Structure 1
């Protein structure tokens, strides 16, 4: 079964879903997480620099994951699209601190890809990923179904 997950705390998506979950035969949901930028709930880019935008983008990715019943430890792959690779690398320690504060010290398979621009011209970074979420987690929680559309 495929579920499209659009948590109410994220801006209403247009042309994409914040997350798509697929139930597998071995009791896991594979959750595909749309690329998230530093959009606030009014779909406006926030944050002046790459660190602030990374924190918001990663927070948005984790909100989509939570909406699908997942936790940061369920992330299995993350791709970061970066407009200015030199700026990103110059702030790598701060970005690493943001990661550890929001996700912890476990790291999924990751890639950083330099791009010339993102959908929103003000966006400096976009974070995309997927996760493997145990099926029994969150199923009894009535909040789990909030924002799920199919």
Structure 2
């Protein structure tokens, strides 16, 4: 069984791909950012002078929330994650990312890889996470 999930209450992907795709008992979540359906980016604020402040903690929190919502739309939840790949624009943000990540997962959680990348699809994005979840329960759609 394969099925693609494109959620109407999430930011539309910036390309022709779904938020997630189920293949048998696995759900593959596309790279997810802190972008809202309005295209605003959580954790990116500009003051009156136009100075932009980027917050890795706020962005990480929003990314995990977006992944949770996508998984729920596909019949799973964060507890079903088996693997996460995180892309950070700067490893200087690793500590803040790790702090928020630790609020959701511990050593019994998903396996994880974190890498630094040159850039993400918007200059205000500090983080993107791709994930895989197991949804072998009989009640999953």
- State the distance in 1 between where 2:76 and 2:26 align: 10
Does 2:17 match 1:11? Answer: no
Shifted more, 72-81 versus 9-18: the winner is: 9-18
Give the equivalent residue in structure 1 for 2:38.
42
Structure number with higher relative contact order (C-alpha < 8 Å, ≥ 6 residues apart): 1
- State the distance in 1 between where 2:93 and 2:7 align: 31
- CA shift, 1:116, in A, is 1.0
- CA shift, 1:84, in A, is 1.0
Contact 1:35 1:61 (8 Å CA) reproduced: no
TM-score (norm 1): 0.77
Residue of 129, 132, 136 corresponding to 1:130: 132
Q: What do residues 85-129 of structure 1 show as CA deviations (whole Å, max 9, x unaligned)? A: 01323x25xx43x3344x343321100000111011210000111
Contact 1:33 1:130 (8 Å CA) reproduced: yes
- State the distance in 2 between where 1:132 and 1:138 align: 10
- State the distance in 1 between where 2:122 and 2:60 align: 14
Q: The residue matched to 1:134 in structure 2 has which SS? A: coil
- State the distance in 1 between where 2:116 and 2:105 align: 25
Does 2:39 match 1:33? Answer: no
Give the equivalent residue in structure 2 for 1:26.
none
Gaps of 5+ in 2: 44-53
- Report matched runs for 1:1-150 at 5 Å: 1-13=1-13, 14-23=15-24, 29-47=25-43, 48-89=54-95, 91=96, 95-96=98-99, 98-101=100-103, 103-105=104-106, 106-139=108-141
Deviating runs (4+, > 2 A) in structure 1? 98-101, 103-106
Q: What is the total number of aligned residue pairs between the two structures?
A: 129
